[in-house]
């Protein structure tokens, strides 16, 4: 390979690396807190809309789905879909302060770390604590009506790149499809990773208990304001990693909120509350509720207007053990390989 061709490849690779914008969001070694704001809607197949569980009519949702009427109490049934978007405002790490925020000057202004989620109601447990009900959620048993998620995924995250460094995310204007498009259909190679709810593995034989969960706790009987004091708990596993993934190797987290789903609950004897409170755990050791990403947040009715009915603030946590090399470091290694290949060809 001649020098001119190598330089052309170097320029092309550099442009590709810059388009990835791998530094648009930064994680630190150790425990990272990701501060998110979320918007979501509750959808139901039109054939499941009834006088008792009413919806807002054809055309209010995607395809055969309709928005569920939020002014009616106890209007949540198995099979409903909660679908929405999220955008990150900041990332901080223990002992390292804020590592990244939406006005990150280093990357040229407003950055975005955004995503999309869709989850299906699996069960509703009424009055688990006074009038508070518990909604158990999971991955979709049907095709994602917005066509974003693959089978088994519950969320997808995206990192902006150089072309979007000065584009602020907008959650509360336009249409649902338009906002989802902004959160997901950015420039090529901005896909970060998809997330899934982990399965309980081998607990009967003393294996690893890495059961993820999606749970909301709220009073759904009060029409219109049923989410004022709602809470949301999640524990996710990384599924498909994208070209923009830069969180390196993650250490499993024992989430103390796991006792909402298991631990001291019947049907999950492999994990105890004491184990959940230990903090971090290698997934290969013992029967622990290890998950790549855990979090909890507050659920409310969206007071900001726009196309989404509900809002939440959902801080997530992940524990990075080995930082991912930057794009330029990877580029340098690749160019060294190209140079070595060229030398070998000249010698032969």
Q: With beta carbons less than 8 A apart as the criterion, state whether 80 and 135 touch.
A: no
Per-residue model confidence (pLDDT) at position 177: 95
Tell me which residue has tokens 């869709």.
Answer: 118
Bridge pairing between strands 30-45 and 290-291: unpaired
State what percent of residues in the chain have pLDDT above 70.
Answer: 64
pLDDT digits (tens, 9 = 90+) for 52-64: 999 999 999 999 9
Helix 3-20 to helix 327-347 angle (10° resolution) is 160
Per-residue model confidence (pLDDT) at position 277: 61
Per-residue model confidence (pLDDT) at position 139: 92
Mean pLDDT of all residues in the chain? 75
Per-residue model confidence (pLDDT) at position 256: 66
Bridge pairing between strands 293-301 and 316-322: antiparallel
The Cα 237–Cα 254 span in angstroms is: 13
Closest CA to 177 of 307, 329, 37: 307
Per-residue model confidence (pLDDT) at position 263: 47
Listed range (22-26, 61-65, 92-96) with the worst mean pLDDT? 22-26
- Evaluate if residue 153 carries a pLDDT over 70: yes
The Cα 325–Cα 203 span in angstroms is: 35
pLDDT digits (tens, 9 = 90+) for 314-344: 789 998 987 655 443 433 333 344 344 343 3
pLDDT higher at 22 or 277: 277
The Cα 166–Cα 160 span in angstroms is: 10
Q: How confident is the model at residue 313 (pLDDT cuts 50, 70, 90)?
A: confident
HEC per residue, the chain:
CCHHHHHHHHHHHHHHHHHHCCCCCCCCCEEEEEEEEEEEEEEEEHHHCCCCCCECCCCCCCCCEEEECCCCCCCCCCCCEEEEEEEEEEEEECCCEEEEECCCHHHCCCCCEEEEEEEEEEEEEEEEECCEEEEEEECCCCCCCCCCCCCCCCEEEEECCHHHCCCCCCCCCCCHHHHHHHHHCCCCCCEEEEEECCCCCCHHHCCCECCCEEEEEECCCCCCCCCCCEEEEEEEEEEEECCCCCCCEEECEECHHHHHCCCCCCCCCCCCHHHHCCCECCCCCCCCEEECEEEEEEEEECCCCCCCCEEEECCEEEEEEECCCCHHHHHHHHHHHHHHHHHHHHHC
- Evaluate if residue 5 carries a pLDDT over 60: no
Q: What is the mean pLDDT of residues 239-267?
A: 73
pLDDT higher at 200 or 31: 31
């Amino acid at each position: 390979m001649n020098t001119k061709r190598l330089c052309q490849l170097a320029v092309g690779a550099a442009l590709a690396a810059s388009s990835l914008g791998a530094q648009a969001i930064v994680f630190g070694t150790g425990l990272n807190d990701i501060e998110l704001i979320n918007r979501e809607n509750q959808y139901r197949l039109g054939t499941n809309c009834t006088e008792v569980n009413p919806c807002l009519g054809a055309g209010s949702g995607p395809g055969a789905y309709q928005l569920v009427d939020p002014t009616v109490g106890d209007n949540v049934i198995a099979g409903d879909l909660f679908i929405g978007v999220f955008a990150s405002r900041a990332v901080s790490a223990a002992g390292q302060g804020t590592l990244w925020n939406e006005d990150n000057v280093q990357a040229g202004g407003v950055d975005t770390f955004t995503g999309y989620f869709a989850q299906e109601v699996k069960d509703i447990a009424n009055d688990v604590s006074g009038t508070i009900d518990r909604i158990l959620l999971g991955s979709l048993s049907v095709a994602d009506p917005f066509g974003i998620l693959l089978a088994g995924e519950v969320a997808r995250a995206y990192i902006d790149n150089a072309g979007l460094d000065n584009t602020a995310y907008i959650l509360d204007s336009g249409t649902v499809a338009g906002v989802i498009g902004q959160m997901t259909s950015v420039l090529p190679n901005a896909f970060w990773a998809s997330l899934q709810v982990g399965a309980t593995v081998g607990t009967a034989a003393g294996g690893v208990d890495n059961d993820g969960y999606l749970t909301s706790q709220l009073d759904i009987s009060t029409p219109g304001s049923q989410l004022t004091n709602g809470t949301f708990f999640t524990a996710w596993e990384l599924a498909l990693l994208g070209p923009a993934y830069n969180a390196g190797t993650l250490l499993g987290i024992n989430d103390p909120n796991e006792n909402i789903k298991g631990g001291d609950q019947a049907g999950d004897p492999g994990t105890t509350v004491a184990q959940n409170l230990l903090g971090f755990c290698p997934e290969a050791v013992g029967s622990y509720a290890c998950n790549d990403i855990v979090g909890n947040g507050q659920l409310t009715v969206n007071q900001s207007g726009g196309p989404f009915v509900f809002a939440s603030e959902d801080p997530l946590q992940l524990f990075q053990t080995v930082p991912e090399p930057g794009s330029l470091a990877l580029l340098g290694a690749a160019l060294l390989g190209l140079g070595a290949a060229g030398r070998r060809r000249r010698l032969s």
